[in-house]
Amino acid sequence: MKLRSIAHHTLPGLALLLAAHGAHAQLTVIVAVEPTARKAAHTILRSAMESGLSKAASLTASVSTSEDLADVMRATRSAGYDVFIGPAQVAASTLPRGYELVGATHKSEQYLLIGTPQVENTGAMKGRRLYLPQQDSIYTYMARGMLNEAGLSFKDLKTVQYEKYPQAGLTSITLGSTDATVVRADEWAEWNTAHPGGAKVLARSQPVPGGFTVVVKKDLPADVRSKLAQWFGGPSSQAGLSPVALRPEAIEYQRVAELGLFTPSSLPGVQRVSAKEAQQLQSQGALIVDTRTEKEFKTRRIKGAQWAAYIEKSLKDVAFNAVQDDFSALDKLPAGSQDKPVIFACNGAECWKSYKAAKAAAGKGYKKVYWLRGGLPEWTADGLPTEGG
C-alpha cells in the first residue's frame, strides 16, 4: 500500500514501470575482478555505471564489485545477479544457467604453461611444484585443463601454491621456488625477452575470451536486454568500461567451462583410436562397447555396439576413485571378450565413462583394450553408420 500510495501521488511513471517489469524493478549487477585485472577494474566508476545503466534500462541499477572469484562463481550457479561483468570463466558458468551473451571487451587470449628448463614436458610436472593465482582464477582453469590433457591432476603435483599475481610466478621460477606457472601469451613474450632461456613453454591453451565479458539474464524483458546490450556496446567510457564490442564464439566459453573436465589425450596401457580406426577394427571382429546410459544407447548408438553402462559417481579426474563407481556391466560382456579387441566409447572427449571403463578393463586382464575418445560425436561427424530410435 505504501508503494502504491507513493506511486499514485508522486511517481505515476514508476508505477507503470513496476507493473511492466514486475520483479525486475531493480537491476542487480556484479563486476567480478581477476586479481591481475585490478588496474582495469579501478577504472570502472561504480556510481557512473549505476547511473548509466539505470538511464539505459529505465530501472534502478545496483552495481557491486568483488575480487572473491569463488564467491562470484557461487553466485553464477544460483543466478544471483541480473548482469555479470567478469572474466571468461564467470561468463562460461552463467551461460548454461539462463543467461545470454552480450559480448566481450577484448580479443581472445592464449595462456601458456611455463616451466623451468629442467622440466621436459607437461607430463614431467608429476611430483613438481606449481604457482597459480586464486583457485577460481582463469589462470587456474587453464592450468587444470593443460595438466589434464597430459593425464595429470593437481593431486599428482607436489604442491600447488595459490597467490594473487600470476606474473610473480615467473619470478618464482627465476628464484627456483616453483617449477611452473601459467601466464598469458603476451606476459610471457615480454618476460622472455628480458630473461631469455630462463624458462620454456610446456603447453598452450586454446584461445579464450579476454578482458571483461558481459552476460544478462534471459528472463529480463526483451526491451531491457536490448537496451543493456546497446549501452554496453556504446561509448560507456564515463563508467570506465571498454566498449563490449566483440562477440566471441560460444565454443570459446564452452571450452572454459569444461577445462579440467576433458579427458586426457592418452591413457597408459590402452590404445586410443579414431572413429575410422574403430570402424576398421570392428569390421575385423572387435567389439565396440557403449558405456552411456540405457536411454542414450537406445536413442542413438554406433551400429553394432554392445551396451555396458559405466555408472559414474567419482570425480572427472585422472585421480578418480573407481571404488565409487559401478562397472559390473563389464562382467556381462559376451564370453571370450577378454581375449578379443574391445573398444570403449561414450559421448566424446568430455565424457569420462569410456576412459574409466577402458582403464577398468585393462586392470581386469582384458588383453586388447582400445579407447574411442571422440565417442559417438566423432563417429557421427565422420558419417559412420548409427542405429537406434
Cα(355)–Cα(350) distance, integer angstroms: 10
Q: In CATH terms, is domain 111-204 a member of 3.40.50.620?
A: no
2-106+209-258 and 111-204 have identical folds? yes
Q: How does pLDDT run along the chain (389 residues), one tens digit per residue?
A: 333 332 333 333 433 334 444 445 799 999 998 766 555 555 678 889 999 999 999 999 999 999 888 788 888 888 889 999 999 999 998 998 899 999 999 999 999 999 999 999 999 999 999 999 877 788 888 998 899 888 888 889 999 988 877 678 999 999 999 999 999 999 999 999 999 999 999 999 989 999 999 999 999 999 999 999 999 998 765 788 899 999 999 989 988 887 766 788 889 999 999 999 999 999 999 999 999 999 899 999 999 999 999 999 887 788 888 999 999 999 999 999 999 999 999 988 878 999 999 999 999 999 999 999 999 989 999 999 999 97
**CATH placement of domain 271-387:** 3.40.250.10
> Would you list the domain boundaries of the chain?
2-106+209-258, 111-204, 271-387
Q: pTM higher than 0.95 for the full model?
A: no
Give the amino acid at 130: L
Q: Do residues 382 and 282 lie in contact, with contact meaning Cβ atoms separated by under 8 Å?
A: no
Cα(173)–Cα(116) distance, integer angstroms: 6
The stretches of the chain forming alpha helices (DSSP H) are 2-9, 12-21, 38-42, 46-57, 69-77, 88-94, 138-149, 167-175, 185-194, 222-233, 250-258, 275-283, 294-299, 353-363, 375-381
DSSP class per residue in 232-254: HHS--GGGTPPP--B---HHHHH
Q: In CATH terms, is domain 2-106+209-258 a member of 3.90.1150.10?
A: no
